[in-house]
Amino acid sequence: MEFEGDGCHTEYKLKSVTYRDLTGDGKEEALIHIEDYTACGSSGVSDNYYIYTMRNNRPHLLWRFGTGGFADAGLMDFRLRGRDLIFQLFGKYKIVGPKFVSLGEDSISKWDPKHYSRIRISWDGKRFRQRTLKILPFPYKDIHEYWDAVGYTRK
């Protein structure tokens, strides 16, 4: 889906829909990943995750989370391990509800992150919440070396 307006171009792309019992109730929830690419002079990509369950034959949102663009809690990696959602975000961040929260300036240039955050999210019986947080050193010289290593193509 694409939109144009006020000098901006936005594209939403459905990246994946995964069905898995994420709450431990014996019923599958839907984990939806949507990429948001926006270009307004400069461009950025954010990733949005939604978890839905069925209640009274209707979808019910249990949790949502959106990363920032690359230089502001951008998505480095995402994995689903059992019932755990594992996010790796560029820089030092934690997740509180649907938002990322900075844990302080990471480096002089956010284009050259010095760290990344590995965050595990899981169901606590009432809601999805952050369970663990690890701040790790960024293993590349800069973002361009990382992009080359993972085969990332810039739009």
Q: Using 50, 70 and 90 to split pLDDT, how confident is the model at 82?
A: very high
The rounded distance, in Å, linking the Cα atoms of 111 and 71 is 6
For position 46, what pLDDT does the model report? 87
Number of Cβ within a 10 Å radius of residue 124: 11
pLDDT at residue 108, as a whole number: 43
pLDDT at 154 over 60: no
pLDDT over 90 (residue 15): yes
The pLDDT of 29-48, averaged and rounded, is 83
Model pTM?
Answer: 0.86
74/71 Cα distance (integer angstroms): 6
Sheet of strand 75-81: strand arrangement: 75-81, 84-90, 115-123, 128-137
Return phi, psi of residue 67, to 5°.
Answer: -80, 170
Question: HSE of 13 in the Cβ direction (CA atoms, 13 Å)?
Answer: 8
pLDDT in tens, 98-135: 889 988 765 445 567 889 999 999 999 999 999 999 99
Chain mean pLDDT for the chain: 87
Rounded Cα–Cα distance for residues 34 and 66 (Å): 9
